[in-house]
Amino acid sequence: MSQPKIITVGSANLDLVAACEHLPAPGETVTGARFAQYPGGKGANQALAARRLGGEVAMIARVGKDANAAAALALLKEDGVDLSRIVEDDGAPTGVALIFVDKAGENMIVVASGANGALGPADVAGAGPADAVLCQLEVPLSAIEAAADIESGLFAINLAPAMPMPTDLLERADLLIVNEGEAEFYGDALYRGEGLVAKTLGRDGAILYRAGKEVARMPVYAVPVIDTVGAGDTFCGALAVALAEGMEEGAALRFASGAAALAVTKEGAQPSLPWRKDVEAFLADKA
C-alpha cells in the first residue's frame, strides 16, 4: 500500500513538562517535581503521529528564530516529516507549552503561542494536492480557512482548543474530531454537514458519527496510564491516515483507538507516539 500524503497545518511548540505528585490548586506550590522538555504542539504532534503511522507527511507551521525552534522540530526532522514549509518568524519566539502531569497521568497545560499566532493564508498558499489535510485550532482561523482550499481527499479539523467557528467551515469538513468538552461546546453544529464526526470519550472509548448518526463505536483499551499528553493528537493523526488509506470507518476508529492507547503508556507527547508496527501488533493481540 502506498503511503497517503498528509499535510498538517498547525502549531509547533517546545513542551516544558513537570511530573508531580498531584496537580496544583490555585495558589498552591507543588515541590519535588521531575522536569523534562519535549517537542510538542498539537500540529507537530499530529504530523509526527501521522508519519509514524504510515503517512507521507508535510508540516506547515511557524517557529521563532531561536534555540527552541530546533528542539521543537527535532523529532519531526528525525522521522522524515517534510519541513520545507516551516517559516522562521522574525518577530515572535517559538511557541512554548507549560505542562504539569500528576502520578495518575492527568495534566494541566498553558500554552504561550508565540510564532504560531502569526501563521496565515500566505504560509498555506500553494500547498497540495494531498490525500488528507489535518488542522487544529492552535493557529489563527485564517490559516485553517486557507487549508480548507487545499486540494485533498479528506479535510479534517481537530476542534481543539474549542473556540467559535464559522458554520460553513464546519460543514465543509470531511472529518471533525472532538473530545467530550468540545462536543458540548459545539453542540448540534457538529452534525449539520455530511462529513464524519469522531468524538473521544476518555475512559469510555470513542464514537464515529455521520450526519448525526452513529456508524462505529470503540471501547477504551485497558493499558497502564503513564501520561495522557499526546493521546488525543495520536488519535487524530491515526484516524486521518486510516481514512486517507481508504480503511473502512469501523476499522479506522479501531486503529486510531489502539494508537491512542499505546500513546498513554509512555511519557511526553512526541516521544510517546507509537509506530505503525507496534499498533498493528497491539491490535492483533486484542483480536
Give backbone dihedrals phi and psi of 5, rounded to 5 degrees, phi first. Answer: -85, 120
Average confidence score pLDDT of the chain = 95
> Helical H runs in 65-140?
67-78, 121-124
**Predicted local confidence at residue 269, as pLDDT:** 78
Confidence check: pLDDT of 277 > 70: yes
Confidence of residue 225 (pLDDT cuts 50, 70, 90): confident
Question: Which CATH architecture does the domain made up of 5-286 adopt?
Answer: 3-Layer(aba) Sandwich (3.40)
Total-model pTM = 0.92
Residue type, 101: V
List CB contacts of 187: < 8 A, sequence separation 6 or more: none
Break the chain into its structural domains and give their ranges.
Answer: 5-286
Tens of pLDDT, residue by residue over 232-263, are: 999 999 999 999 999 999 999 999 999 999 99
Confidence check: pLDDT of 43 > 70: yes
Confidence check: pLDDT of 174 > 70: yes
Cis check for the bond before 129: say yes or no (omega within 30 of 0): yes
**Predicted local confidence at residue 1, as pLDDT:** 58
**Predicted local confidence at residue 198, as pLDDT:** 98
- Enter the C-alpha cell of residue 74: 527535532
Q: Just list the catalytic residues.
A: 233
Confidence check: pLDDT of 287 > 80: no
